[in-house]
Amino acid sequence: MTSHAEAEMEERNFRAEVDVESVGEDEASESLLRLFQLFQIEAECNSSEVIPQDNEMWCSRNVLRKQRNWEKIVAAKKSKRKQEKERRKAKHIEGTEQQHSKRVLKAIMKERLLEAKHAGPRLCIDLSVSDHMTKKEISKLAAQIRRLYGANKRAAKPFWLCVTGLLVHSSIHEECLRMNDGFSNYLMDTTEEHYFDLFPLERIVYLTPDSKHALEEIDPQKVYILGGLVDENIQKKLTFQKACEQGLQTARLPIQEYMIKDGNMKNFHSEILAINQVFDVLAMYYKTGSWPEALKAGVPARKGFVLPGQQDVETKKMSS
């Protein structure tokens, strides 16, 4: 048998052997490589028949070069497939871990909330003051309740939340259901009742920006009340007067005690925050025990207050 015929037979055998579907891509590549090497042998044999002797060296170098290129391609493909396989495996593991850690985080969050329900502190959003709000203000309030609830869920030391005076079918109730996914399953209490019918009066502290008393600490035995109100046309002292009429303790955030007016803010300074911002301050204080840190985290710069020493930084920021 001639070398040409032998090579053809080998090729047929190999084609039968190299069934890519059944052996998998790695083996198929290796088999193809072997097949290719056979072709090289055949090519070398054939070329020695037709190419003159002085071309032999050039020819075999050319064949070797092609073979090396082919080997490189096969090796690169192989390593790419390996990398891809490892990437898929890592992604799968990561996905499983994420699902696992999501479940664990949810369980931790639930445990912390139930601990706060049992041991305090409690924070009520009083919706009995939300009567005269416009549609736009009601939407804003619903969004603030969602943010506050989300922040409380993420807090290392959460409060137990309670929404009081929430009348079924009222505009704010409808808006909360419409805008806040899963509102009816929020881990908090909602009731049509008023806070003063639910808790002993001596435990209630109504938080209001108009109070004369600065809040000094967060006492887990107390129930803190926030006025569920967005008043774009400020209803001055609304919650303060209400709390005074009910003979309740009141407190404001200690903004004046720990912050100074930012000289760059063209005379606009306001201590009135949205309920979710007040909550951010309370939650940070409850976690760190530091009012400067808490106020820095919760009081937006546009309110015109900064911590002493922060003013220089703010001035530099504005002038750059």
Ligand X SMILES: C[S@@+](CC[C@H](N)C(=O)[O-])C[C@H]1O[C@@H](n2cnc3c(N)ncnc32)[C@H](O)[C@@H]1O
Which residues here bind ligand X, judged by CB under 6 A? 207-209, 226-227, 229-231, 234-240, 252-253, 255, 271-275, 278
CB 111 → ligand X: shortest distance, Å? 28
- Cβ distance to ligand X smaller for residue 47 or 235: 235
- Cβ distance to ligand X smaller for residue 29 or 228: 228
CB 251 → ligand X: shortest distance, Å? 7
CB 256 → ligand X: shortest distance, Å? 9
CB 184 → ligand X: shortest distance, Å? 24
- Cβ distance to ligand X smaller for residue 142 or 274: 274
DSSP 105-125: HHHHHHHHHHHHHHH--EEEE
CA distances from 318 to 263, 278, 311 (A): 12, 26, 10
- Cβ distance to ligand X smaller for residue 145 or 255: 255
Of all residues in the shown chain, the one whose CB is closest to ligand X is 227
**Helix and strand element counts for the chain (H, E):** 12, 8
- Cβ distance to ligand X smaller for residue 7 or 222: 222
DSSP 184-225: GG-SSEE-SS-HHHHS-GGGEEEE-TT-SSBP----TTSEEE
CB 312 → ligand X: shortest distance, Å? 25
E strands present in the chain: 122-126, 160-164, 189-190, 204-207, 223-227, 249-251, 260-261, 305-306
